[in-house]
Amino acid sequence: MIRFGQLDIDFDDRVLTPRTWTVRQSEWAAELSAELPDGPMLELCSGAGQIGLLAAALTGRRLVCVDADPVACAFTRANAERAGVSHLVEVRHGSMEHALDPDERFVLVIADPPWVPSAEVGRYPEDPLLAIDGGADGMRVAEMCVTTTARHLSPGGSAVLQLGTPAQADRVLELVEGGDLSVEEVRDSPGEGVLVHLARAAVPSMTRPAAGYRELEGKVG
């Protein structure tokens, strides 16, 4: 059990140990929520659920949590009950592509995907491989999160994506270039990851989708 903001979060060594410094992702999401229209939140790669659950507790918004690991999903359900927000939370086990209906829209998306490059995962022997391995450049799952956000973020909505390095944040900027998502702000805390705020205009533009979206088509899952 670990204290995460105002919540007590249960977990074990089968899931990623919650990093207490990721409270700032929940808090930033809650700050953005105050300026957003009504609607639910989506958390991708939810793990034990701490980031999304704290955001739900702070905002009172409904939350859908998605994770490919059934153990993580079980912890999220139990932690939602313990936090007193289970009435707001729906937990879905599965890939991003299959856990969401094509027409579902969310005003706020939160994602903390695995972002450690495969060659560096040995630096974190205590963490489950599924929870930290982001592929060759650490961006494989993060790119899926960006594409899923592009598909499901409501007009006028925002997303807060957690990454490991400023270079990875630069890759997100490349992915959304030319599309109707924009990078609004990047917050870098050395040793504690990088947060990227993405937004979609309230009135969708007629701009064609970014090349990054096209190159990722068929890879979300």
pLDDT tens, residue by residue, 9-22: 999 999 999 999 99
Examine residue 165 and state whether it is found in any structural domain, yes or no.
yes
Q: What is the pLDDT of residue 94?
A: 95
Residue 191 located in a structural domain: yes
> What is the C-alpha separation between 69 and 13, in angstroms, rounded?
13
Separation of alpha carbons 11 and 167, rounded Å: 30
Residue 211 lies in a domain: no
Q: Is residue 102 part of a domain?
A: yes
CA distance 19 to 70: 20
Q: Give yes or no for a contact between 159 and 142, defined as CB atoms under 8 angstroms apart.
A: no
Looking at residue 192, its pLDDT comes to 78
Instruction: Give the span between the Cα atoms of 172 and 186, in whole angstroms.
Output: 11
Report residue 110 CA to chain centroid gap.
3
- Give the tens place of pLDDT for each residue, 31-70: 999 999 999 999 999 999 999 999 999 999 999 999 999 9
Strand 2-4 to strand 63-67: parallel, antiparallel, or no bridges (unpaired)?
unpaired
21 found inside a domain: no
Give the pLDDT score at 32: 98
Specify the DSSP class assigned to residue 133: B
Helix, strand and coil in the chain, % to nearest 5: 40, 25, 35
pLDDT grade for 189, boundaries at 50, 70 and 90? confident
> What is the number of structural domains in the chain?
1
With vertex at residue 111, the alpha carbon angle to CA 109 and CA 114, rounded to the nearest 5 degrees, is 165
What is the side-by-side strand order in the sheet with 194-200?
89-93, 63-67, 41-44, 106-111, 153-163, 194-200, 181-188
Asked if residue 218 is part of any domain, the answer here is no
pLDDT for the residue 207:
44
Residue type, 67: D
Instruction: Name the β-bridge partners of 161.
Output: 111, 196
Domain annotation covers residue 208: no
Mean pLDDT for the stretch of residues 77-98: 96
Residue of 217, 220, 219, 176 lying closest to 199 (CA atoms): 176
From residue 50, alpha-carbon distances to 75, 82, 102, 110 in Å are 10, 11, 26, 11
Q: 120 lies in a domain?
A: yes
Measured at the CA of 30, the angle between CA 27 and CA 34, to 5 degrees, comes to: 145
Q: Is 36 left (phi over 0), alpha (psi -120 to 50) or beta?
A: beta
CATH of the domain at 153: 3.40.50.150
Residue 187: which domain range? 2-15+38-200
Any idea which of 72-76, 163-167, 183-187, 215-219 has the lowest mean pLDDT? 215-219
